[in-house]
Structure 1
């Protein structure tokens, strides 16, 4: 088998992968790469058109936007079309009646004042004729002055002095008759609706009503003048109601929208000023700034990469700390975008549905196999958003929702079916599943469009969607070994490959240390069952168990499982030398695994499966031999490190259990369980599980699982009769 060198073994990457700013650089580079993949899809399309020219093509709107100028024009027309709202002002009639009554009341007051003044003058005069003339002249002039003081200016200006003097000269029942007749006539007429243009007619009507009064001609003239004064318009435009009606008319106007895909100009049509304004509004003329789409794309990609960075740094996966895996994720991400971009360029081929070939499921299948299904699900959402922009050449707008939905479901299909099992046959089955989901999504999209498609168009759409699943799985299977080898990823496929008994190291164990090989197989069974019971990687534990004692092949006869029919060499050497030989095997094994470029996870299991545990047998033997010198316990402990993962910890636990149970005489279920629990307690109190994230509950599950597995291994057998047994031995 050829040795593959992963990037982790490259000196330049070893120096770079732990750099503090490397992760930031990777995410920034992903953003720049994504921007480069999409920038050509958002370059604004501008047309060299001018008003008055003839269009040489059909022009459709690339977006949906409101035509505000047209909306405002229609709103203005609707407002102007609203007739003024008129209403009768009932208060106006009352106001006019109060004015007329005020006139008669003021006349009555002035008459009373004049009577008082005349009485005063008569008492002060000598009753001469000359004085009487003076009194008459002064009384007429003063009457008007007194009346003007009591009445508003408007009333004084609109009613003649003669009319006031006639009223001042009228007394008693005539004045009361004049007041009642005038107010009654004005009231009757003002009860009717009197528009501005009918005021004169209303005054004529009130004059005819007053004219029937049985009074003197002079008083009648005064009454007519006052009644005509009392008539005014009471039916006029209501400003508030009119404004409210106009606002309602404006609100009733629907906004004028230019819809995405709407035909703005037909081929051969003259581009008028209105059409040119619409073209400018949707950004198809050179008058519109061209940098807005680039800024919008930068914002979208920045948000996507920021969300991706947050998720990958927060999710409990190897991507959180392993920059090699992050680089691998970035490689798969970029490779998927490149394939999507290449497929998006096939729109120039006049073949309906060819862009449904997009093999996005390849990326999600690789991420599921190599990393984690949740990471693949999240990434499929990002692929869907990117694809909706990347495949917009088939859409009149900037976003193609059809392909966004298609890519989303296709990517998820590659995750859900594969996440349950990641064997090669399962991947092939996943391709069929992806094709099936693709066909369903395409059929749903065609139905949603509600268009009359021909059978050929339907067939091509469905056919390309079907091929997409197979292309995805072929690419995923073909790329998987290269990605695994290049980035040193330990996928299930790689683990199955490493479990092949023909692997050089496994054959080395089988041939040079057969006892160790058998021991490793049993440990693999125990460790796999224990890991699966706590949700750890059982396959990794099994394969790690196969290789965990590879270091024993350097001195196989110093380990008891390989000492068949030979004397134990430890009986002839000091405990310190024995300790040195035994303690060396995890680290010898790690060196051998590294030299064969096995994955780091396997190397870690070999190096950590003993942790810092104590070689009790040789420690106590050394203490017995050295009565004078004090033997320190740390001299007989493995230097570590302690197990850093669940798999390494459980392999070490299973290793101790298998060795202890193998040495038991007549093992029973109860004896085995007591022994397993004792070993678990010893390793727990010794701190061998301190550096891994195993809980007490998980340790209990693991111990129970190991006991169940051992019961199947050391099941009771039928005891043959002694005669039959001797016959069997003779036949062997």
Structure 2
């Protein structure tokens, strides 16, 4: 029965297991498993057994925001098709056509000039033939004369003109038009060219679409002056002007594509919004609705593993952050695996409470899930571990709660509940960080309740939606209940964690400091001098610890019990030798040493029998460290100088492992030394305190704790200030002065 009630830290199986190289990793794996198990049911996609053409038996809303890509693409296509083709006027077309007309007339003139030269050359040749040989020419009778080419026929002129023209132009113009040009003189050609080019410029100054080309050519034809006498030339001009006029308002493919792309880009994606009503109860499930249900992941036609993977990643991140914080923060969880196990259990217990409360949404009462006392977890961590650990865990609880309590929303994450839980946890942590008294816990519950109500009101207003007084009042009541439940559960669970893990909380320390505790009464009754000594040491140690940020209350309570071992042989210690001989005068120094050095370990054994916290036991066992019993060492050395060594007269240890143990040891030595001073003064006290600390420092008594030289100096100053208040100078009253004078007279008479 006794073993079962022992703290886990005193169980042999845990003492072996907690030092295993993988136990720390295993605890974090356990924490990750608890997180995953608590949230996995809330991320499993809801599926419906529904088919097109049936009636829906419930209102179905989308749990996610997702894009309907098919519908979006269709709207983009419709937008592109709605854009008309883009046309643009080409002003250079008129110039190009005029240049082509000018080229035709230029070529015609060239052919006519060539024809004129041939005619002139041929006529001159014939004139020479008619005149006969004369003069020098007669001397060249035998010489052959060059005969000029004959003038071109109509067909040859037409053929030469077509050869000079481009093939496309040549094909588009008729023989009649070209012949008319070749049969006109230069003046007629210039006039015709001027009329045609002006007409082309005038007509093509306006937009001419392809479907309006014939109308434009008819307009150009009407503008051609009929003042030309030659009918053939007029008809040729008509054909040329119709040839010259062309469409100048054409389809612009690049501009059209740009306009259509712009129209496509302006199309907003077709989104199925989170919480959007996809189908109402009793409404027909059409193919379109069925398609939307599939996009929202509400159909059971396939298994989606992404939510499970996403949750695993989230849990991995959360566990990693917790592990990094606990390994880096300056708290007991950095090295103490027992405290880490307790942290995991508190975290897991909080997750269980949240999970159980999450099922209350089935009751369909507004805000009933707000009653979850999540602040219980951080309040327990604040009292049993450290406020920084609780504050960091508040963020993790908020993230977890936002998923566990997502039944109230169509989304996977209920951000509003996460915010509510975060502020609730932080409120409990801040309020308890300064004091852990029982009344303070109840006050913290009241504070959390009040803050919860304010947060709920703020959330209701931020939603910008209509809410009734009934809804607001009920939600506020549940939120207030969460604060009170958190306080009640914290008070109820603290004793179990303290007993199960040997945790020394502030409330436990206050309980142990009560003078009615059996062990303190034992010291008071059996060793009253030791009790008085312990009280003064407690004052000194508490002041010293608080000056360097150590646990002053722990040092005070540890000081009360540090000399419990003296109750086994109280008269062997000088503070208990009232009006009696010193028994050490009748025994050997070695035996005295054995009796004196046994008291830390006798006290530790007695504390273990009464299942006292480990921190108190450590102070009792370590407050003397491995210091030397100088008085008995030198006494033994006087008796037998050759065979006595320092090691025989040292305490077995261990040395102080914590700042509290080291400071209690300093206070213990200082109190005994100052008490032995006849006339203590501030200067003497300060010199004595500094000497004791310097001796311990030089002896290596602080090598295994994390006290720095600066902190030792601060502790010395604090102890001196406390001692000056304890051993202050006292005013002598008249009666006392008279008595002293009488005593002096007696001494003089009997001297």
Distance in 1, Cα, partners of 2:705 & 2:100: 103
The equivalent residue for 1:640 is 653
- 1:111 offset after TM fit, Å? 4.3
Range with greater deviation from structure 2 (421-430 or 173-182): 173-182
8 A Cα contact 2:118 2:149, kept in partner = no
TM (norm. structure 1) is 0.93
- Whether the aligned pair in 2 keeps the contact of 1:43 and 1:294 (CA below 8 Å) is yes
After TM superposition, list the pairs within 5 Å mapping 1:473-512 onto structure 2.
473-512=487-526
CA contact (8 A) 1:174 1:215 kept: no
Change (3 A) 1:121 1:9: farther
Distance in 2 (CA, whole Å) between partners of 1:572 and 1:14 is 44
Is the contact between residue 357 and residue 467 of structure 1 (CA under 8 Å) also seen in structure 2? yes
Superposed displacement of residue 569, structure 1: 2.4
The C-alpha deviation readout for 1:100-125, integer Å capped at 9, x for no partner, is 22223333444455566777888999
Q: 1:227 and 1:469 mapped to 2: Cα distance?
A: 98
1:603 aligns with 2:617: yes
Please give the secondary structure, in 1, of the residue aligned with 2:432. coil
1:262-277 correspondence runs (5 A): 262-277=276-291
Give yes or no for contact 2:122–2:148 (8 Å, CA) kept in 1: no
CA RMSD across the alignment = 2.7
Residues 459 and 119 of structure 1: is their aligned pair in 2 closer, same or farther, counting only changes over 3 Å? Answer: same
Give the alignment partner of residue 587 of structure 1, picking from 601, 607, 613. Answer: 601
Looking at structure 2, the residues matched to 648 and 665 of structure 1 have their Cα atoms a distance apart, in angstroms, of: 29
How much has 1:678 moved relative to structure 2? 2.2
Alpha-carbon distance, 1:257 to partner: 2.0
What are the equivalent positions in structure 2 for 1:195-344 lying under 5 Å apart? Answer: 195-212=209-226, 214=228, 216-344=230-358
2:684 is equivalent to residue 684 of structure 1 = no
Query: Residue 381 of structure 1 aligns with which residue?
Result: 395
Q: Which residue of 2 aligns with 1:181?
A: 195
Alpha-carbon spacing, 1:455–1:55, altered in 2? closer, same or farther (3 Å): same
In the alignment, is the contact (CA less than 8 A) between 2:543 and 2:722 conserved in 1?
yes
> Does the 8 Å CA contact 2:657/2:704 hold for their aligned counterparts?
yes
Conservation of the 8 A alpha-carbon contact between 1:384 and 1:408: yes
2:122/2:151 contact within 8 Å kept? no
1:361 is aligned, of 367, 375, 386, to 375
Q: Which residue of 1 aligns with 2:637?
A: 623
8 Å contact kept, 2:118–2:148:
no
Return the alpha-carbon distance in structure 2 between the equivalents of residues 14 and 402 of structure 1.
44
Equivalent residue number for residue 534 of structure 1: 548
Deviation at 1:281, TM superposition (A): 0.8
Tell me the distance in 1 between the aligned counterparts of 2:701 and 2:427: 42
Give distance in 2, aligned partners of 1:429 and 1:468: 14
TM-score by length of 2: 0.91
What does residue 133 of structure 2 align with? none
Cα gap change, 1:36/1:216 in structure 2, threshold over 3 Å: closer, same or farther? Answer: same
Structure 1 gaps, min length 5: none
Q: What residue in structure 2 maps to residue 61 of structure 1?
A: 62
Select between 350-359 and 243-252 the one with higher mean Cα deviation.
Answer: 243-252
Partner residue of 2:16? Answer: 15
> CA shift at 1:590, angstroms?
2.2
Aligned residues of 2:379 and 2:490 also touching (Cα < 8 A)? yes
Equivalent residue number for residue 720 of structure 1? 733
1:391 CA displacement: 1.3
Query: What residue number does 1:47 align with?
Result: 48
Distance change in 2, residues 1:152/1:702 (3 Å): farther
Change (3 A) 1:378 1:118: farther
1:161-182: per-residue Cα shift (whole Å, max 9, x none)?
3323333343432222222222
Bigger Cα displacement from structure 2, 211-220 vs 705-714: 211-220
Deviation at 1:635, TM superposition (A): 3.3
Q: Which has the larger radius of gyration?
A: 2
1:698 to 690, 704, 711: 711
Q: CA deviation at 1:717?
A: 1.1
Deviates more, 1:344-353 or 1:463-472: 344-353
Q: What does residue range 405-420 of structure 1 map to in structure 2 within 5 Å?
A: 405-420=419-434
Q: What is the rounded CA distance, in whole Å, between the counterparts of 2:286 and 2:436 in structure 1?
A: 63
Equivalenced residues, count:
726
Match of 1:172 in 2: 186
Q: Quick one: distance in 2 between partners of 1:723 and 1:714?
A: 19
> Are the equivalent residues in 1 in contact too, given 2:226–2:234 (CA < 8 A)?
no
Match of 1:73 in 2: 74
What SS does the aligned partner of 1:87 have?
Answer: strand
Deviates more, 1:578-587 or 1:108-117: 108-117
Q: Which shows bigger deviation, 409-418 or 634-643?
A: 634-643
- Would you say 1:392 and 2:406 are equivalent positions? yes
1:405 CA drift (Å): 1.6
Matches within 5 A, 1:452-463: 452-463=466-477
The range that moved more, 237-246 or 24-33, is: 237-246
Distance change >3 Å, CA 229–CA 505, structure 1 → 2: same
Counterpart CA distance in 1 for 2:477 and 2:407 is 21
> For residues 620-656 of structure 1, what are the alpha-carbon distances to aligned partners after superposition, in whole Å with 9 as ceiling and x for unaligned?
33333334x1643333333333222111111111111
Give the deviation of 1:134 after TM superposition. 8.5
Question: Contact 1:352 / 1:457 at 8 angstroms: preserved in 2?
Answer: yes
- Once the two structures are overlaid, the 10-residue window that deviates more, 554-563 or 458-467, is 554-563
* 1:578 matched to 2:578: no
> Partners in 2 of 1:719 and 1:473 — Cα distance?
54
Residue 349 (1) aligns with residue 366 (2): no
For the residue of structure 2 that corresponds to 1:222, the secondary structure is: helix
Change (3 A) 1:729 1:471: farther
Name which of 674, 681, 695 aligns with 1:668.
681
Matched residue, 1:34: 35
Q: Structure 1 stretch 677-686 or stretch 320-329: which is displaced more? A: 677-686
CA deviations 1:407-431 (Å, max 9, x no partner) are 1111111101111111111111001
